[in-house]
Amino acid sequence: MSISVVILAAGQGTRMKSTTPKVLHEISGKSMLFHAIDAAEKISDDITVVLYHQAERIQKEIENHYTGIHFHIQDAEKYPGTGGAMKGVVVSHTKALILNGDMPLVTMDALNALTQGDADINMSVITLDNPSGYGRVVIFNGKVQEIVEEKDCIPAQKEIQTVNAGVYCVKKEILERYIPALNNYNAQKEYYLTDIIKMAVEEGKTIHPVMVEEEEFKGVNSKLDLAHAEEIMQKRIKTAWMKAGVSMRLPDTIYIDTRATFEGECLLENGVSIQGASHIINSHIKTHSVVEDAHIENSDVGPMGRVRPHSRLVNTHIGNFVEVKKSTLTGVKAGHLAYIGDASIDEGSNIGAGVITCNYDGKNKFKTVIGKNVFVGSDTQLVAPLTIEDDVIIAAGTTVTKNAMSGELILSRTPQKSIKNFFYKFFGKA
Ligand code: UD1
Ligand code: CA
């Protein structure tokens, strides 16, 4: 890999109106910055992230998930702007791709197009009916001359509909020559990275404009932008999985995390939410079920089931209003209204309606282990820590507090009393 990547992420992101740094806002389960880093890792082994606002927090977040990323802290007081961000950045390869941390929708196809060829600068360009907000690209005789920021445009330049999409691939010697020479003599008193274009043109360097899609290069600046970007990302994720053979009923109502994966014949009904790095194999997730960071194989869930992180369901049926957390269920049926937390349950066992694993005593969590062919009657409370061996019957309404051995019937009920004709004495006869 002979290309370096620089990701600009020092901007403040005021319009996001959040205490969370802009680039850490998530789209389909992954922060915008991580979308950029993941793309960068596909093309480069030399990645530098430029930070300033909340640098420490963002750096820590990156270091929790990635290794080998370089950081450059911009001196943004002294050198504000995208050009200021590049001051002092050192790249190790002969070319550098410069990305923005707030453009999560850029595709690999577009990045590959931008890194091709031998021009001194490849720059991303879009033609827009409404170019406002973008730097305008001045082209003369078919050749790029300069980029003029909107605030610096003379009225005639404002009419230009060819705009700078903000991503560039630049030869190392161009950066070394022109970044130190940038000035801030402009409307915003900022050091503009875009000024390298004019400087390079003046010295006869080659600038190659690469036409890109507006949708991919839209910067996310507000919560509204974030929601729009999420919609686009969701469409892409679902389209890709449907092409890969996943069935979806009313896909517009389904949410799928960018980290989720599917195998074999899967059916997702309307309103389903698949979150985290869930892995779903040959399974049917029914209407309005939520799956989070779970492994589900040859199983069915819902409608209105909830499978929470670190759960593993194999050959299992989970019915309506059943919640499973951090539990392994193999060959189990839990058809209705149950809470199964910190448990493992083995083949042939049936969990009746209203069963609850009492896994938490207010201080600590405890495990419930249930063997094979156990019949847990309705409305049973399993007070953990607890082990139920194979082949046990637990009668409905039992509060189980002690381990059960193979072959046993467990029941804890007060004997039923019957008082003849009480109803008629109390309410009188009609
Ligand atoms: C920039 C371009 C503009 C282009 C637009 C496309 C410049 C001067 N202008 O404008 O021509 O049409 O992108 O979206 O480059 N950043 C820093 N440090 C800073 C300022 C910004 O790291 O001091 C980062 C931001 O976090 C962001 C990126 O650079 O990721 C772009 O900054 P932004 O302010 O969005 O660029 P614009 O001024 O909109
Ligand atoms: Ca700006």
Of all protein residues, the one whose alpha carbon is nearest to atom 20 of ligand 1 is 81
User: Ligand 1 within 6 A of 134 CB?
Assistant: yes
Q: How far is the CA of 135 from the centre of ligand 1 (A)?
A: 10
Q: How far apart are the first and last CA of the chain?
A: 90
Active site residues: 336
Q: How far is the CA of 223 from the centre of ligand 2 (A)?
A: 18
Digit-coded pLDDT (tens) for 323-334: 999 999 999 999
- Which ligand is nearest the CA of 73, by number? 1
State pLDDT tens for residues 208-229.
999 999 999 999 999 999 999 9
Calculate what percentage of the chain has a pLDDT beyond 70.
Answer: 100
Name the residue of 6, 32, 100, 149 to mutate for ligand 1: max ligand atoms within 8 A of Cβ: 100
149 alpha carbon, closest ligand: 1
pLDDT in tens, 252-301: 999 999 999 999 999 999 999 999 999 999 999 999 999 999 999 999 99
pLDDT tens digits for range 49-85 = 999 999 999 999 999 999 999 999 999 999 999 999 9
Average pLDDT estimate for 118-125: 97
Averaged pLDDT score across all residues of the chain = 97
pTM of the predicted structure, to 2 decimals: 0.93
* Closest ligand to the CA of 134: 1
- Give 134-181 pLDDT, tens digit per residue: 999 999 998 999 999 999 999 999 999 999 999 999 999 999 999 999
The pLDDT score that the predictor gives to residue 430 is 83
Whether ligand 1 lies within 6 angstroms of the CB of 11 is answered as: yes
Question: Is 149 touching ligand 1 by the criterion CB < 6 Å?
Answer: yes
